[in-house]
Structure 1
Amino acid sequence: MPAVPPPTERVIARRRAVGDHIRAVRTAARRSQESVALESDMTLSQYNRIEQGHASPLLDTLIRISHALGVTLAELVGEEPRPATTGYADRPGR
């Protein structure tokens, strides 16, 4: 299996931005890292690495964190859903 290339600067910056947003959501909920980590079934170290932007968590992990904090996945990572513009339903006559 070929080696995975290291993440680009853009990916690293986005990872940090997501981690910062997760931290903001957690602190707004007045939760500790430890309590969220415990409820998300991960170690404090693993959770801290996500908030610091040093880890690339699996989707399942982000879902568990969003559930622990009582927010949607989009709210957790600070993303606004974009409307589909090129899908099958958008074609004329559909």
Structure 2
Amino acid sequence: MRIVISRFLPKKRYFFPKTQTILHYRISSSAVSAYEADQISPSLETLVKLANLFHVSTDYLLGVDYPRDKAVLDTSGLNKQQLTVLQNLIDIMK
């Protein structure tokens, strides 16, 4: 499997100088540039380090997108009052 993070890494690296990446996470400046240019893919260990550095999931860096279908909740066991409370909470969160 090819790991392609070139579309996502530059967006997150904007506020982080490469020197911080090199010093703290021991990822070379040339490696970060190569990842951004899609010339090489990081190892799994490096991918985890990058995710930790930028406070994102590895899924984000990999471009994994999950469908955002509406959540389904089984309310068959709730009484009328509980359903009303639940609906009020949903309305508040909209």
- Range into which the TM-score falls when normalised by the shorter chain: 0.5 to 0.7
Match of 1:64 among 49, 69, 74: 49
Change (3 A) 1:61 1:31: same
- Asked if the contact 2:35/2:41 (under 8 Å) is kept, the reply is yes
- State the SS of the aligned residue for 2:10: helix
- Asked if the contact 1:38/1:44 (under 8 Å) is kept, the reply is no
Q: How does 1:35-46 map to 2 (within 5 A)?
A: 35-46=20-31
Change (3 A) 1:40 1:57: same
The alpha carbon displacement at 1:51 in A equals 1.1
Q: TM-score, normalised by structure 1?
A: 0.58
The alpha carbon displacement at 1:59 in A equals 0.8
Find the counterpart in structure 1 of residue 9 from structure 2.
22
Alignment length (residue pairs): 66
Find the counterpart in structure 1 of residue 37 from structure 2.
52
- Asked if the contact 1:25/1:76 (under 8 Å) is kept, the reply is no
Between structure 1 and structure 2, the one with the greater Rg is: 2
Over the aligned positions, Cα root-mean-square deviation in angstroms equals 2.1
What 5-or-longer segments of structure 1 have no aligned partner? 1-10, 83-94
Q: Quick check: which one's helix share is greater?
A: 1
What 5-or-longer segments of structure 2 have no aligned partner? 68-94
Instruction: Give the whole-Å Cα distance in 2 for the aligned partners of 1:38 and 1:81.
Output: 34
